[in-house]
Chain A
Amino acid sequence: MQGFLGVDVGSVSTNLAMLDADGGVISYVYLRTQGQPIMAVQQGLMELEAKLDGSVDVIGVGTTGSARYLTSVVVGGDIVKNEITAHAVAAGHVVPGVRVVLEIGGQDSKIIFLRDGIVVDFAMNTVCAAGTGSFLDHQSARLGIPIEDFGRYALGAEKGALIAGRCSVFAESDMVHKQQVGYKLEEIIYGLCQALVRNYLNNLAKGRDLAGPIAFQGGVAANAGMKKAFEEAINQEVQVPEHFSVMGAIGAALLAKEEKLLEPGPSAFKGFGAAKIDYRTSSFACGGCENNCEIIKIVVDDETLARWGGRCGKWEVDIIRRQHLEPIGADCSKCG
């Protein structure tokens, strides 16, 4: 069977999805990135290989997520796309006629508006990561309740405690206060969900028209309390797709499929053996001008596979695609 691989490496989770030629999910893997994207991708490849057991011939690979360029070098990607496009494409594929995508990930959150399967508008959280998955993670550790149980607790509350969601620091002190005055844990957890939803709608939706169908995806969609809080706040049904946690990877695989339709040819995929390659990364400060850019290098057996990080582009190289990106100018002082 032929398949398309999508890999989404974010700040918190690393997801891989294998799709068949019709875009159906054959198999997927969801892992924690734990600050080591290369290892996470390799671990994911091994797990996926074990699940597929040689039944799939990979003919296209797409990568997305904040480590999309790095991941593309590691696995051999045919297309690199940002996570907004990937999530939108996946939602459009899975949820018929979807018009709004609510996505909350580890360190960012986005809202995407679609018409006829095409993104017409989107918004992403700005400098502040308040109200994203890592905040929930942090609270679960503090309360000593596994994040997987958050939803169950939240649904056990009749009403939520009122918690300030503007800022994670304030939200936390508010929660501590509510605990001390005797609110039940369930009410506090549901109150937290409501606060995150309020924050999300204020910062991202900003009064835009939320006409359904609405899809809610990303790791945080696992929390049934969040779904309920969304539905209460916008007074509409919110659908959580079956593979909500790996929608980015599904989108990347669909984009790889689209790419291969447009430009047929062999895939750059390195094979599942890429899990065993000893990738080494190192960094150094350029020193060519006052910007002192930090340059990242990915090396295998003394061969530099990729290098990036500079502002002027003089170090940028992507050997896999045999590309040397055009520098702004040889004169480093022109950086900036």
Chain B
Amino acid sequence: MTDGFKVGYPQALLYYKYFPLWETFFNRLGVEVVLSGPTNKALLNLGTVEAENELCLPVKVFYGHLLALADKVDAIFIPRMVSVEKSAYTCPKFMGLPDMARATETRLPPIMDPTINWKLGWRQYVKTIIELGSQFTDNKAKILGAYHAGVQSLHQYQDKIRAGATPIDIIESKEAPRAGVADLRIGLAGHPYNIYDKYISMNLIKRLREMGTDVVTAEMIPHSELEKESQTLPKHLFWTFEREVVGTVFHWSRRNSVDGIIYVLAFPCGPDSLIQSLLEHEMRRERSTVPMMSLVIDEHSAEGGFLTRIEAFVDMLSRKKKLAGRVAN
């Protein structure tokens, strides 16, 4: 059944984290992967109309991508991401994503929703992968081979990011800007689907680079490092992706390795709002000297106010640095 079979992959949410894995996996099984393309105003509007009003912005965006794929593919791939590590869960929205997709008013092609749940151990995980691949081939070795190739693609992608490229640079196959040439280094914290989506982040990374700063993100830090930093909290955070944000911010603030931190959060994300006050509180307690600014994005965000804040933040950092230079001389 693989001949000409097309799987739709919404370019939203965990796309930025895992897409090389699944793209390679499907391609190796002879399945064509169709992307929904970068977010734009039309997609966002589509999603906002379709989605429950109380959902967070990234999920509304996801709906837009889903609808954009509706009549272009034979199936849509929406893995049910329950847990990606033994000790933690993802946000509940990810667990229910395939169900939320099925509940749309618009008729969608069949949804492929393997349950990814590392809490059940690796044996179960392998079983899930084989089940997923069995829709296209009976050859188990081929399925596992395809998955293995997928993991390698993912690692290559992660290596490129660690070397300083952002997922956007890689997706657009652009050269990553040379790190260390700018005067200022800004740590950009937040969910990949918020900071790497050029439309909803209002091109934040490009704007920051144009203002003469180096932008670093969580994905450029070794994962074990983030893990270690977030362990210092009195209580274990049970959401994987939020724990990554916390680990990232601590990594930068405790080492003084960036001039400033911008934390992008989406309205009305529950976990984000908790993490925001947690971070502010902890950084104050640790007497961190690295300034952090939170930027809240939602579908009504006006570009003007957004720009003012970014400009003011970069201004603050560069004036501070200039003064420090003057004192040192």
- In the complex, whether A142 has a CB less than 8 A from a CB of chain B is no
Contact yes or no, B291 A127, CB < 8 A: no
**Cα–Cα distance between A244 and B104 once the two chains are bound (Å):** 54
Query: How many A-B contacts if CB must be within 8 Å?
Result: 90
Complex interface bits, B305-319 against A, C-beta within 8 A gives 1, otherwise 0: 101110111011001
**Cα–Cα distance between A215 and B319 once the two chains are bound (Å):** 21
Contact yes or no, A82 B311, CB < 8 A: yes
Listed by A's residue number, 30 A-B pairs whose Cβ atoms lie within 8 Å are A66-B304, A66-B305, A82-B312, A82-B315, A84-B308, A84-B315, A85-B316, A85-B319, A116-B323, A117-B323, A118-B319, A119-B316, A120-B291, A120-B320, A122-B312, A122-B313, A123-B293, A124-B312, A208-B284, A289-B40, A291-B42, A291-B199, A328-B203, A328-B206, A333-B37, A334-B172, A335-B38, A335-B198, A336-B199, A336-B203
Residues in chain B near residue A207, CB distance under 8 A: 284
Q: How large is the interface on B (under 10, 10 to 19, 20 to 34, 35 or more residues)?
A: 35 or more
Interface of B with A (CB < 8 Å)? 37-43, 172, 197-199, 202-203, 206, 267, 280, 284, 291, 293-294, 296, 298, 300-301, 304-305, 307-309, 311-313, 315-316, 319-320, 323
Contact yes or no, A83 B308, CB < 8 A: yes
Residues in chain B near residue A293, CB distance under 8 A: 41
Residues in chain A near residue B39, CB distance under 8 A: 336
Select A291's contact among B40, B280, B296, B313, beta carbons within 8 Å.
B40
Residues in chain B near residue A122, CB distance under 8 A: 293, 312-313, 316
Q: How large is the interface on A (under 10, 10 to 19, 20 to 34, 35 or more residues)?
A: 20 to 34
Select B40's contact among A85, A116, A118, A336, beta carbons within 8 Å.
A336
Residue of A117, A118, A123, A334 most packed against chain B (CB within 10 A): A118
**Cα–Cα distance between A127 and B309 once the two chains are bound (Å):** 12
- In the complex, whether A126 has a CB less than 8 A from a CB of chain B is yes
Contact yes or no, A336 B38, CB < 8 A: yes
Contact yes or no, B41 A290, CB < 8 A: yes
CB distance from A262 to the nearest CB of B (A): 11
Contact yes or no, A206 B42, CB < 8 A: no
* CB contact under 8 A between A127 and B298, given known A82-B315, A336-B199: yes
Residues in chain A near residue B304, CB distance under 8 A: 66
